[in-house]
Amino acid sequence: MKILSSSQIKQCDSVTIGKGISSIDLMERAAKACSDWIEINFKINKGFSIFCGNGNNGGDGFAIARMLYEKGFDIDVFIDENNFKFSDDSKINLDRIKKISGIGIKGFSEFENNRESVIIDALFGYGLNRELSDDFNDLIEKLNEIHTSKISIDIPTGLFADRIIDEHSTVFKADFTLTFQFYKRSFLHPETGRFCGKIIVLNIDLDEDFINGTKTDYFVIDETLIKNIYKPRKEFSHKGTYGKSILVGGSYGKIGAVLMSTLSALRTGSGLTFTIAPKCGNTVLQSQIPEAMFIDSGENHINKIEIQEKAVYGIGPGLGKEKETRKALLEFLENYTGPIVLDADAINILAETQRLNLIPENSVITPHPLEFERLFGKTENSFEKIELAKQKAEELQIFIILKDHHTAVVTPGKKVFYNITGNSGMAKGGSGDVLTGILTSLISQRYEIEEACIFGVWLHGKAGDLAAEEFSKEAMLPTDLINKIGDVFKYLS
C-alpha cells in the first residue's frame, strides 16, 4: 500500500471530487465508514462526546455525530466557542445536526467528564500545518487524562501526517485511529506512532488512477503485496530447486543464535542447509537439527569461512568479535561477491573496522537501532534515520532492514517499505537470529532480494503474532516463532 504525503492526499481528494462525487458526499462516505465501524466495535457503549474542529476533520465529526445518533447512541458535540468560522462542508454538517434536538452542541469549556462516554477526536486531521495553540493543548491534555476509550478520526490531533513533532508537543492519545484510505508515515515511527493506538484503515474509494500514478518512496507492507510476492512450491521440484543456505555464526556460549537461524532457514523452505560454527557447537547443532549439515571452524569461535558455490550466506548470529573471527569475516568478504545477509556481530565488526565497502552489492544488512548508529552515526530522530538509511542504501547499493517496532526495508533505489506485522513479544534476544535465517532461506530460494526482504520481515512478524496469540507476548519465545512459520505459509496458501 502506498503512503502519500498530506499534500498528495489533499490532491487525491480534489481529483476524486473532480471525477463525479461532490465534496460533501465524500465527507458523507468517510463519516459513514467511521460510524459503521464504531457501531460494530462499540456496541455496548451508549454515549459519545465528539470534539470537532473548524475544518473538514471537524466536518467528519459532525456527520459521524448525526449517524451515530441515528443508530441510537447518545451524542454530545463540542466545538470551539471562540471560532465560528467553519469550512464549507463542515458548516453544512454542523447545520444538519443543529436541527436534531437530541444532539447537544456545547463549547469546549462546557465539557465535564461526568459520564462514561467514548471520546472522539475530530479536531484536526491532515490539515494541521503548525503547532497547536495553548487552548487546544489544554483541551487535549484534559481529554488525555480521562480514562475512557478514545478514537481519533483520520489522525490523532497534534500529529502531522508525514513529519516529526517537537518532543514536548501535546497530542491526543487515541486507542483507535480510524484513518482514510492510507497509512500516514507518522503512524509508523516510534515518536509519533505511540499516539495512534490501533490503526484502522477505512476505504473511501479515492481515485485509483490518481493513486496508481502518484510517485512515493514510502509503502506499507500489506497482504496484497505479500500475496503477489509469495511463490508456492512447485509439484515437480527437488531440493536443488530451493537453493543452498549457509548460516555462519555461533561462538562458545552463543551457539543457540546460529541454531535458531539455521532452524528458521529450514522452516522457511531452504532446499539444502548448512551451518558453519565452531566445534563446540557440533553436538547441539547435530542433535537439535539433524536436517542441517555442519561444517566446523575453530574450537570455540569461527576462524575461517569456507566459500561454497551457488550458496547464499547469512552471517552474524552469535558470531562474536574475536580477532580470528574478524579476520575470517574480512577475508571472506574480500573474496566473495554474491549477495549475503549480515547481522549482529558481522555488522559490529564492519562498523568497528569501517570496512563497509567490503559488503557485496545487493547484500542485506539487518541492524537494530544501536547497530545502525554504530554503522552510520547518530541521527536526531527516526525520520532522519530513515533518510540516512536511504542515502546509505543507495551509496553502498545494499538493502538495509532497520529493525524497530515497525521494521523498515530500505532499498538501494531509496524506497522504504514499513512492516506492520509483529509485536512487542518479539523484543527478545534471538528474534533477530530468526529473521537472518528467514532472509537467507528466501534469497537462496531465488526470491528477488527486494522481495525476500519484504516477505521476510512480514513473515517474521506474522509468525510472531501467531506465537503471541498462543503463548502471550510475555511468554512467547523466538523458538515458538520459528514453529509458527509453517502456519503462516498455510495461511498464505
Ligand X SMILES: NC(=O)C1=CN([C@@H]2O[C@H](COP(=O)(O)OP(=O)(O)OC[C@H]3O[C@@H](n4cnc5c(N)ncnc54)[C@H](OP(=O)(O)O)[C@@H]3O)[C@@H](O)[C@H]2O)[C@@H](O)CC1
Among residues 11, 47, 92, 127, the one that binds ligand X under rule CB under 6 A: 127
Euclidean distance between CA atoms 322 and 300, whole angstroms: 10
Cβ proximity to ligand X: between 13 and 343 the closer is 13
> Smallest Cα–Cα separation from 127: which of 95, 92, 162, 94?
162
Chain residues in the site for K ion (CB under 5 A): 121, 152-153, 157
HEC per residue, 374-427:
HHHCCCCCHHHHHHHHHHHHHHHCCEEEECCCCCEEECCCCCEEEECCCCHHHC
Contact pick of 4, 125, 201, 437 for ligand X (by CB under 6 A): 125
Our finding on whether 298 is near ligand X (CB under 6 A) is no
Q: Residue 49 binds what, of K ion, ligand X, none (CB under 5 to 8 Å, by partner type)?
A: none
Q: Which residue in 30, 97, 257, 259 binds ligand X (CB under 6 A)?
A: 30
- 158 is a contact residue toward ligand X (CB under 6 A): no
State the CB neighbour count (10 A cutoff) for residue 240.
10
Instruction: Say how far apart CA 489 and CA 269 lie, in whole Å.
Output: 10
Residue 126 is a binding residue for ligand X (CB under 6 A)? yes
Three-class HEC string of 47-81? EEEEEECCCHHHHHHHHHHHHHHHCCCEEEEEECC
Answer yes or no whether residue 156 interacts with ligand X by CB under 6 A.
no
Neighbour tally for 217: CB within 10 Å:
16
Query: Hunting for cell 545487493 — which residue is that?
Result: 362
Smallest separation (angstroms) from ligand X to the CB of 157: 8
Select the residue interacting with ligand X from 43, 85, 99, 130 (CB under 6 A): 130
Binding-site partner at residue 152 among ligand X, K ion, none, CB < 5 to 8 Å by type: K ion
* Cell numbers representing residue 161 in the block: 501526517
Q: How far is the CB of 76 from ligand X (least distance, A)?
A: 20
- Quote the least distance from Cβ 129 to K ion, whole Å: 14
Is 142 known to sit in a ligand binding site? no
Of the candidates 73, 172, 180, 332, which one interacts with ligand X according to CB under 6 A?
Answer: 180
Using an 8 Å Cβ cutoff, are 50 and 122 in contact? yes
* CA dist list (Å): 482 to 327, 446, 489: 31, 21, 12
Residue 125 is labelled as binding a ligand: yes
Instruction: Please tell me whether 58 is known to bind a ligand.
Output: yes
Write the single-letter amino acid at 66. Answer: R
> Counting contacts by CB under 6 A, is residue 343 touching ligand X?
no
Under the binding rule (CB under 6 A), the answer on residue 60 touching ligand X is yes
Nearest distance, CB of residue 92 and ligand X, angstroms: 11
Contacts of 493 (CB under 8 A, 6+ apart): 232
Contact pick of 33, 48, 53, 365 for ligand X (by CB under 6 A): 53
Binding-site annotation, residues: 56-60, 121, 125-131, 154, 157, 257, 318, 368, 403-407, 432-433
Binding-site annotation, residues for K(+): 57, 121, 157
Positions in the binding site for ligand X (CB under 6 A): 9, 13, 26-27, 30, 53, 55-60, 87, 124-133, 153-155, 180, 204, 206
